[in-house]
Amino acid sequence: MSGPGPGTALGVTGMSVSYGNLVAVHDATFSIGAGESVAIVGPNGNGKSSLLMGIVGLARRRGEVTIFGSPAPAGDVMWTARRGLTLVPERRQLYPNLSAADNVVLGCYSWTRSARKARRSDAYGRALDLFPDLRSHLRQAAGTLSGGQQQMVAIARGLAADPKILAVDEPCLGLAEAVSKRVYEALARVHEAGTTLIVVEEAPKRALLICDRRVEVRNGVVRAPAGGARP
Amino acid sequence: MMKFGNLVVAGIVTGSIYAVFAVCVAVWYRVSNILNLAVGDFAMTGALGVDYLSRVENWPLPLSILATLAAVAAFGYCYDRVVLSLAQDRLRRHEGIVVTFFFTFALSFFIEGIAQILFGTNVHAAPALWPGNSLNLGGGLNIVRAGILVLACAVISGGMFALYIRYTLSGKAIEASGENYLGARIVGIDTRRYRRSIFVITALLAAIFGIVESPITGYTYISGAVISLTGFIAAAYGGFRHPARALVAGLAIGVLEALLGGYVSAEYGDTVMYAILAALVLARPRAMGFESAVSN
């Protein structure tokens, strides 16, 4: 087992996430090394998304989360984003009436308040370069794009935050096979470029093609099979 | 024809006030999903506060204006920090919205109560910022000087806001907060801070318009409710979420009101106007934007 050490990108110790009386994640402990790519797998409704929501600070949690060794204050999404952990959430959560370009550029909000700086940044440029198909749709309202294009916008928005750890929740939900493949190819490239990658998937087959190892979530209980920080 | 022209000019002046209040309501709704029913009371506070300080306390006019605006801003900030935070941030989002809506309603009564004690029940107005007779626009058309100031303020504040939304990242963040609350939080947008700053800015804007406009109509301690109501209706015609549509609706209501008052009946003009507005909503709810207020 890899304990929270210097090479640990994300460390989770004894974390529970609950909504009212419902405990979604119970006492989760695992860690992810810098540069790893990890698939979080398990049936739907078993707490995979809640795990991510708790880690980034969008759901109430107990226990400790560290990002590159620093303990994350609970409920502070901004802190998490600034430290380099960005979530591409389930169902994408785009701004439907804003253009695709505006959706992506808002990803830069975690590190700048200047629209000019954001548009000229490497992170923004790289995020768009990853999805050449989006180029011709940048002025279109995000809500009018196809499901696959919306997913690409969501990932691009996540990348515009210049993350060191990118967590993607169900990237292929409701997408056609060919589109899913393109999304995964893009995620593989993100990982190759050095970003630590976390992918939540109900169907682990595809995720495990690009991921080094898996973390299983069943009934809110997390099991991270031994395998070391890096394979 | 001259009468018609003058009525339209007067209607545009009052309409621009409704428009500004409608935009205030719509913008804050976009960010917070809460309707602010106290926006008109800030206008009344501005007008009567300046009148009180300059007429009763004999402060110089610029100082009275600054002091009043500072008081409104400070009050708006504290109100958000204490009451709205308590009402909203600790609750689940949906509960919070309903509770907060009633809190702005309560705020309106609270301000009226204080205003009654401080300013009495008589009609007052802030001193005219640009004193003098109505200006002749040619062809028998006249416009009161305060009306020009109101229009100028409306154009400047509206234009600045439009530019802010279009060209800055924080302007887009405001839009994003209204579009998708969770999506906004995920990229690190502090939706509460925006809720607070927009609340304070709209309160200030309302106060400024109250000060500029009050020489035309005169205010009493309960004038705020009528202004809020009309702004609210105009905002409703824009589906609450569309400041631009709210602006047009505000102008249209102002002109309609002036025309009805001039041609139909000075006494029953408002009644007829509200009947027309209600009929429009019943006949074409979707076109009037009411759909989006409900489904969002």
ipTM: 0.89
Q: How many domains does chain B have?
A: 1
Instruction: Write the CA distances from B251 to A137, B137, B237, B248, B268, integer angstroms.
Output: 35, 20, 12, 5, 20
pLDDT given for residue A105 in this prediction: 96
Give Dmax (Cα) for chain B: 60
> Considering only alpha carbons, which residue of chain A is nearest residue B169?
A115
Considering only CB atoms, which chain A residues are within 8 Å of B166? none
Would you call A106 and B179 a contact, using CB atoms and an 8 Å cutoff? no
pLDDT of B24 > 60? The answer is: yes
Q: For residues A22 and A5, give the distance between their C-alpha atoms in angstroms, rounded to a whole number.
A: 32
> What secondary structure letter does DSSP report for A133?
G
Would you call A118 and B187 a contact, using CB atoms and an 8 Å cutoff? no
Tokens 């409920």 sit on residue = A75
The bridge status of strand A8-19 relative to strand A22-33 is: antiparallel
pTM over 0.90: no
Would you call A102 and B172 a contact, using CB atoms and an 8 Å cutoff? yes
pLDDT given for residue A50 in this prediction: 94
> Considering only alpha carbons, which residue of chain A is nearest residue B181?
A93
Three-state secondary-structure class, residue A42: coil
Which stretches of chain A sit within 8 Å of chain B by CB? Answer: 56, 58, 77-78, 81-82, 87, 89, 92-98, 102, 105-110, 112-115, 118, 157, 161
- For B257-275, letters b (16+ CB in 10 Å) and e give bbbbbbeeeeeebeeebee
pLDDT given for residue B270 in this prediction: 82
> Tokens for B12?
């545009």
How would you class A20 by CB atoms within 10 Å of its CB: exposed for 0-12, middle for 13-18, buried for 19 or more?
exposed
Minimal C-alpha gap between A33 and chain B (Å): 23
> Considering only alpha carbons, which residue of chain B is nearest residue A158?
B187
As a whole number, mean pLDDT of residues B15-36 equals: 84
Instruction: Write the CA distances from A201 to A38, A134, A173, integer angstroms.
Output: 10, 24, 9
B183 reaches A (C-beta below 8 A)? yes
Instruction: Give chain A's mean pLDDT.
Output: 91
Considering only CB atoms, which chain B residues are within 8 Å of A56? 186
Q: For residues B17 and B14, give the distance between their C-alpha atoms in angstroms, rounded to a whole number.
A: 5
- Best residue of B179, B182, B187, B197 to probe chain A, by most A CBs closer than 10 Å: B187
Element containing residue A48 per DSSP (H, E):
helix A48-56
- Assess contact for A215 and A39: CB atoms under 8 A: yes
Query: In sequence order, what E strands does B58-165 have?
Result: 135-138, 141-143
Query: In sequence order, what E strands does A85-179 have?
Result: 85-88, 165-169
Q: What is the CATH number of the domain that holds B211?
A: 1.10.3470
Q: Give residue-wise pLDDT tens across range B145-181.
A: 888 998 898 889 888 888 888 889 999 998 898 888 8
How would you class B229 by CB atoms within 10 Å of its CB: exposed for 0-12, middle for 13-18, buried for 19 or more?
middle
Would you call A115 and B189 a contact, using CB atoms and an 8 Å cutoff? no
Three-state secondary-structure class, residue A206: helix
pLDDT of B291 > 80? The answer is: no
pLDDT given for residue B31 in this prediction: 78
- Assess contact for B235 and B216: CB atoms under 8 A: no
Tell me the β-bridge partners of A12: A30, A65
- The list of chain A residues with pLDDT below 70 reads 1-6, 226-231
Would you call B179 and A107 a contact, using CB atoms and an 8 Å cutoff? no
> Considering only alpha carbons, which residue of chain B is nearest residue A107?
B187
- Cα dihedral A134, A138, A140, A145 in deg (nearest 10): 20
Q: Band the pLDDT of B132: cuts 50, 70, 90.
A: confident
Q: For residues B114 and B42, give the distance between their C-alpha atoms in angstroms, rounded to a whole number.
A: 12
> Considering only alpha carbons, which residue of chain A is nearest residue B167?
A115
**Chains A and B: how many Cβ contacts under 8 Å?**
70
Q: Band the pLDDT of B294: cuts 50, 70, 90.
A: very low
Nearest residue to A157 via CA among B7, B194, B189: B189
Which range in A132-141, B135-144, B235-244 is most confidently predicted, on average pLDDT?
A132-141
As a whole number, mean pLDDT of residues B232-253 equals: 83
> Tokens for A123?
């992170």
pLDDT given for residue A228 in this prediction: 46
Q: For residues A127 and A195, give the distance between their C-alpha atoms in angstroms, rounded to a whole number.
A: 13
Position B39 in a domain = yes
The bridge status of strand A70-71 relative to strand A61-67 is: antiparallel
Q: Band the pLDDT of B271: cuts 50, 70, 90.
A: confident
What is the percent of chain B where pLDDT is above 70? Answer: 93
As a whole number, mean pLDDT of residues B34-59 equals: 92
B296 reaches A (C-beta below 8 A)? no
Least CB–CB distance from B182: residue in A93, A96, A106:
A93
Q: For residues A203 and A210, give the distance between their C-alpha atoms in angstroms, rounded to a whole number.
A: 13
Position B132 in a domain = no
pLDDT given for residue A2 in this prediction: 44
Position B134 in a domain = no
Q: For residues A103 and A92, give the distance between their C-alpha atoms in angstroms, rounded to a whole number.
A: 11
- Cα dihedral B182, B184, B190, B192 in deg (nearest 10): -60
Would you call B189 and A161 a contact, using CB atoms and an 8 Å cutoff? no
Domain containing residue B172: 2-122+140-295
Q: For residues A140 and A137, give the distance between their C-alpha atoms in angstroms, rounded to a whole number.
A: 5
Would you call A106 and B176 a contact, using CB atoms and an 8 Å cutoff? yes
Residues in chain A: 231
Query: In sequence order, what E strands does chain B have?
Result: 135-138, 141-143
Minimal C-alpha gap between B278 and chain A (Å): 29
Q: For residues A38 and A148, give the distance between their C-alpha atoms in angstroms, rounded to a whole number.
A: 22
- Assess contact for B55 and B269: CB atoms under 8 A: no
Q: Give residue-wise pLDDT tens across range A100-155.
A: 999 999 999 999 999 999 999 999 999 999 999 899 999 999 999 999 999 999 99
What is the percent of chain B where pLDDT is above 90? Answer: 34
CATH 3.40.50.300 matches A8-223? yes
How would you class B146 by CB atoms within 10 Å of its CB: exposed for 0-12, middle for 13-18, buried for 19 or more?
buried
Least CB–CB distance from B190: residue in A78, A102, A161:
A78
Least CB–CB distance from A109: residue in B167, B173, B180:
B173
Residues in chain B: 296
Least CB–CB distance from B188: residue in A81, A96, A105:
A81
CB atoms within 10 A of CB A146: 13
Would you call A93 and B173 a contact, using CB atoms and an 8 Å cutoff? no
Least CB–CB distance from B169: residue in A58, A112, A157:
A112
Least CB–CB distance from B169: residue in A56, A58, A115:
A115
Position B273 in a domain = yes
